[in-house]
A = this chain, B = another copy of it.
Amino acid sequence: MTEAQPAGAAPATFAAALGAIVGAAHLILDPAAMAPFLEDWRGRFSGRALAVALPADTMEVARVVAACAAARVPIVPQGGRTGLVLGSVPDASGSAIVLSLRRLNRIRAIDAANRTMTVEAGCLLVDVQQAALEAGMLFPLSLASEGSCTIGGNLATNAGGTAVLRYGNTRELCLGLEVVSAQGRVWDGLRGLRKDNTGYALRELFIGAEGTLGVITAAVLKLYPQPKAALTALVALDSPTSALALLSLMQERCGAALTGYELMSDLCLRLVHTHFPDLPRPFADHYPQYALIELSSNESEDHAAGLVESAVGAALEAGIALDAVLASSVSQSIGLWKLREHISMAQAAAGKNIKHDISLPVSHIPDFIAQTDAALQAAFPGCQVVCFGHLGDGNLHYNVAPPAGIGHDGFLAHQDAVNRIVHDNVMRLQGSISAEHGIGALKREELARYKDPAELDMMRAIKAALDPLGIMNPGKIL
């Protein structure tokens, strides 16, 4: 803190200044009390911090940021801390403060006729969903950590999830933002407008910037009518190519009624049944691949059922699908989704593995899987690829586990080599090395390796323009 405290202020002085802003009860200085704010969600890393500040509202956030700017103290904005790429925890230097948005947790307004909701950054996603439901509408963002993650974190990382196919990423669900700039200025961009062409897309720039350009404090979100019915089907397939053919057929016949399209390999299902033997076994036989399909209707359950039956029937008749199960009740539908949702947990139970959150043009997915599987088998004979994901969005979770008999910890030593094979193939097929998790600190070097230098230079220019002191979440992304 010496160098960074130009006016000669001691840490105690700086802490006193923060305490005067947020109140002593909301400034954590004790290392033990700070610990939960410093630890990565997966428990792989713990950073250090000068302090954890929990401001009550936007004005307090602005004053904290201004104080940090004056003292050149870096700021790590933090929501639910559920990120998977070390984006919301401080590094080991201990030079930064953690700025937790958890106390900014009010639903400020719901405008039913405009189908919008204004929420503060620290609202839990599940509370946002619930408030929409109580107003008779749908906020469609849905992901595994929805009980713990905050909408501010979802916006900062442009979270994806299971409803992107129909409703888009978090970016597409946001109409307006309130942001505290790196100078501690409040920008009120809380517009609830579907069309607004008055200058540069600042909203878009802060969304997905992972807190490196400013602090999102509130947002106007889009709401949708609640579908009257949602039906689930599990379809057995011989290959990823057939999964693509089925996706295309479903899109042609169902349009926007197709709200989910997930791919799972046979190995995924076997793992799930090994570790969660009580979950349903929809088919007597095994098939190479499975598509989990969700159809929603604004009309009726009969309409949704008719759509899914005729579309899946056509796929069976055309030989695209090998077998199919249609859920005939809500509990059957939940059971089918549980198969998908338990893959990560089953893998965790089996041991550590090397994870990739990648995306590709949907058309390149069969090639990617075939070529990457082959390259990994050549390099690590017998390794196990657990591949599943949001096929409709081109997003695969492509996780590599060791060959049988090789220890999981030992295999992790090959992480760089595995990443190189996977990510080189992603880039060759015009994909992305981070589909929905972001870059954080974890993928920063991969980003520098793979990103077009012209793009990196523009990103750096924007960072320098909006955060010239470099205090906003340093070491993340760039």
Contact = CB atoms under 8 A, between A and B. Distances in A.
Interface stretch (A251-259, A376-384, A412-420): A251-259
Given A111-B363, A194-B362, A205-B462, 5 more contacts: A113-B363, A193-B359, A200-B205, A255-B256, A299-B307
28 contacts: A114-B364, A116-B361, A160-B195, A164-B194, A166-B256, A169-B194, A186-B454, A187-B455, A193-B435, A194-B362, A194-B394, A198-B432, A198-B434, A198-B447, A198-B451, A199-B208, A199-B439, A199-B447, A200-B209, A200-B213, A200-B462, A201-B204, A202-B458, A204-B204, A225-B251, A225-B252, A461-B466, A462-B465
B116 A196 contact: no
A176 to B, nearest CB: 9
Contacts of A198: 432-434, 439, 443, 447, 451
B432 A202 contact: no
A235 to B, nearest CB: 18
A115 B213 CA distance: 33
Contact of A205 (B187, B205, B395): B205
Given A113-B363, A363-B111, A394-B194, A458 B255 contact: no
A145 interface: no
Contact of A195 (B164, B253, B459): B164
A275 interface: no
Nearest to A203: B204
Contact of A454 (B181, B244, B393, B463): B181
A150 to B, nearest CB: 17
A342 to B, nearest CB: 22
Interface in A431-478: 431-439, 443, 447, 451-452, 454-459, 461-466, 477-478
A456 B456 CA distance: 24
A257 B194 contact: no
A197 B362 contact: no
B192 A452 contact: no
A298 interface: yes
A433 B187 CA distance: 18
Nearest to A192: B361
A195 B359 contact: yes
Nearest to A247: B113
A431 B176 CA distance: 12
A207 B196 contact: no
Contacts of A341: none
A188 B462 CA distance: 18
A158 interface: yes
A225 B171 CA distance: 23
A172 interface: yes
Among A193, A195, A201, A432, the one with the most B-chain Cβ atoms within 10 Å of its Cβ is: A195
A103 to B, nearest CB: 23
A116 B360 CA distance: 12
B466 A197 contact: no
Contacts of A393: 194-195
A62 to B, nearest CB: 10
A452 B255 contact: no
Contact of A359 (B113, B194, B251, B457): B194
A227 interface: yes
Contact of A465 (B157, B209, B394, B461): B461
A197 B157 CA distance: 7
A449 B447 CA distance: 40
Interface centre among A201, A244, A252, A359 (most CB of B within 10 A): A201
Given A194-B394, A394-B114, A436-B195, A208 B202 contact: no
B466 A462 contact: yes
